[in-house]
Amino acid sequence: MNGACEVNAENANWGRELKVLGGFAAVFVPLFFLPVGVPRFDNALKEGLELTKWYAQEHVLLCLVPALFIAGGISAFVSQASVMRYLGPKANKALAYGVASVSGTILAVCSCTVLPLFGGIWMRGAGLGPATAFLYSGPAINVLAIVLTARILGLELGAARAIGAVAFSVIVGLAMHFVFRREEQAKAEAAAEMPEVEVRRPLWQNVLFFAAMVGVLVFANWSKPDEPTGLWASIYAWKWPLSAAFAAELGVALGLWFGFEWSELAVAALPVAILSFAFPHAPLIPFIAGCAGLAVICARTPGEGREWLDATWSLGKQIFPLLIGGVFVSGILLGRPGHEGVIPSEWVSQSVGGNSLLANFVSSVVGAFMYFATLTEVPILQGLIGSGMGKGPALALLLAGPALSLPSMLVLRSIMGLKKTAVYVSLVVVMATITGLLYGALF
């Protein structure tokens, strides 16, 4: 008996050591054959670094950090019972999917910025269907992007994108709910047994609190339009005063309803005001000071303030490394807009001509893995259409690209697991392929 146990233990030990050896080999072999000095590889490596640098400069501070604070706020200030009531498996389907499917018109975020928000509502008990509907619609239903699509690529393509994106969000959500209905049923039964949670504050106070943070996120990232006149240009001219107004609303809400000390809020706001006047043409400096000040006063506020910071930091640790790594790999493979990665751009151009099933599928897959910042998909498509891309593949890319990316897939796997992520990505790619094929046949 003892001999058999010793043999089993020895075999288990050998198994662990073989795994370690396999890990060493998996790292060593690619390094040994690394094609350093080959122009395409060297350029692709440069593109990966350039895209990562651009993402860090343009999206981490203005997009990701506010989104993490919003997601942390959902975790700290919104009760699980409330999330279950409005977005849970047994919530009113019309309300849950209706709100989730049009959320992108308000948020206007990219496929990576929406991830902390999705993680926040998912971890608080939202049903998989409404949560994935929100996950898709957040980056896909961007009003400015749809308007830009209609103006540059044609009214019919812009309208098809708008209708397809709203329909996709609902269909994807319903399909995810159906595929994982047993898990959703178990979640609903567990929620039914949860005790009633004491409501800390009225719903309208939470609504104003989150509206302030969403306002900062939206207007701080308001893109400069091509034309210097019109509504979008007017809003762009006031983007930072509007962001500051929403930040002030957030400070008032924290003081009135969340137990933060007014003196500490004033001390945190003072450097922001001074830096705003000292560096009027560098608004990122006071913005960073504001985020740092908010983190400090959260750390100094026991109870909900510290819970908010802890939840924000936990999500940041989970999401940030995967996003940065994913953006780097995406840059190596596909490059930046107008630049080459490992995969030659002519391969993509040649594969998406006409309206075949293969062309639409390739367009959906490329869109799914490539990282698109908000609005960048339109000029990219303009160039591809000029190179012979068909209308169907163009719509397929518009429906799959903004909502997915390699970085977002990596993060989604860490949030909801490999199986759910694979089903979600497959649904988006397949639906985008079929929709593009139908659109190309009609137009």
Q: What pLDDT score was predicted for residue 348?
A: 72
Check pLDDT > 90 for residue 290.
Answer: yes
Domain positions in the chain are 44-201+301-442
Q: What pLDDT score was predicted for residue 247?
A: 95
Closest CA to 58 of 110, 107, 105, 103: 110
Query: Higher model confidence: residue 174 or residue 232?
Result: 174
Query: Higher model confidence: residue 103 or residue 332?
Result: 332
Question: 10 Å Cβ neighbour count for 264?
Answer: 17
Rg (CA), the chain: 24
The pLDDT confidence band at residue 347, using thresholds 50, 70 and 90, is confident
Percent of the chain with pLDDT over 90: 27
371-379 mean pLDDT: 71
Q: What pLDDT score was predicted for residue 29?
A: 87
Query: Residue length, the chain?
Result: 443
The pLDDT confidence band at residue 199, using thresholds 50, 70 and 90, is low
Check pLDDT > 80 for residue 197.
Answer: no
The pLDDT confidence band at residue 253, using thresholds 50, 70 and 90, is very high
Q: Average pLDDT of the chain?
A: 84
Q: What pTM, to 2 d.p., does this model score?
A: 0.80
Query: Higher model confidence: residue 112 or residue 236?
Result: 236
Report the distance separating Cα 394 and Cα 436, nearest Å.
Answer: 7
Q: What pLDDT score was predicted for residue 380?
A: 75
> Each residue of 419-434: pLDDT tens digit?
999 999 999 999 999 9
The pLDDT confidence band at residue 195, using thresholds 50, 70 and 90, is low
Check pLDDT > 90 for residue 260.
Answer: yes
> Each residue of 73-132: pLDDT tens digit?
888 888 777 777 777 777 778 888 887 777 766 666 677 778 888 888 888 778 888 889
Q: What pLDDT score was predicted for residue 389?
A: 82
Report the distance separating Cα 53 and Cα 324, nearest Å.
Answer: 9
> Each residue of 291-327: pLDDT tens digit?
999 999 999 999 889 999 999 999 888 888 888 888 8
Check pLDDT > 90 for residue 137.
Answer: no
